[in-house]
Structure 1
């Protein structure tokens, strides 16, 4: 079960690296295709805001990757708990305030990874 938890944590980290790329480097191109419900003129106006959000997603990914590299088992699990918790809170908040699908894309995979980690 430990390996499953680590794979799921890795998946959540990769997902946040993708979000970093989307929000920091592809907001005005791929962002338009991803967020079809946003008005087209919004993307250029919010480019710097999206980049800031992308940076935070990069920090989440870095923390999750760090948790996988820590040799001490207790520290590794605690760091993973913290960063998965951050992803869950961000995903729930985003679902409540921005777009409901954020829960399924961001929070749910982190919840599943956290449950796997708790069972490991």
Structure 2
């Protein structure tokens, strides 16, 4: 969320493997901010799910959100930059695996 919404354009270009000229465009900035708020709200839902009462609903909510992150990470890795596999899809896959083992 921080990178997409608040980082400098040069930091954004480096983080997302985009041309600096592209990142400087107002449409790209709007898209990045939209992506940032979306990711921030997803993170807020993951944190909020920690406060659900223990049980199947909590586990399914958390695993469902992690599965969502995994699917989006795979799509991003295939379509945007391979780095997304490492920073988004892999942590989600580990989260799902550990969650299933714990359940």
RMSD: 1.4
Tell me which stretches of 4 or more aligned residues in structure 1 moved more than 6 Å. none
Q: Deviations over 1:91-110 (max 9, x none)?
A: 00000100011011101001
Q: For this pair of structures, how many residues does the alignment match?
A: 100
SS in 1 for 2:9: coil
1:1-120 correspondence runs (5 A): 20-35=1-16, 37-45=17-25, 46-120=28-102
The structural deviation recorded for 1:72 is: 3.2
- Normalising by structure 1, we get a TM-score of 0.76
Task: For structure 1, list consecutive stretches of 5 or more residues without a partner in the other structure.
Answer: 1-19
Task: For structure 2, list consecutive stretches of 5 or more residues without a partner in the other structure.
Answer: none
- Normalising by structure 2, we get a TM-score of 0.88
**Equivalents in 1 of 2:8, 2:40: separation in Å?**
15
The structural deviation recorded for 1:112 is: 0.3
The structural deviation recorded for 1:85 is: 0.8
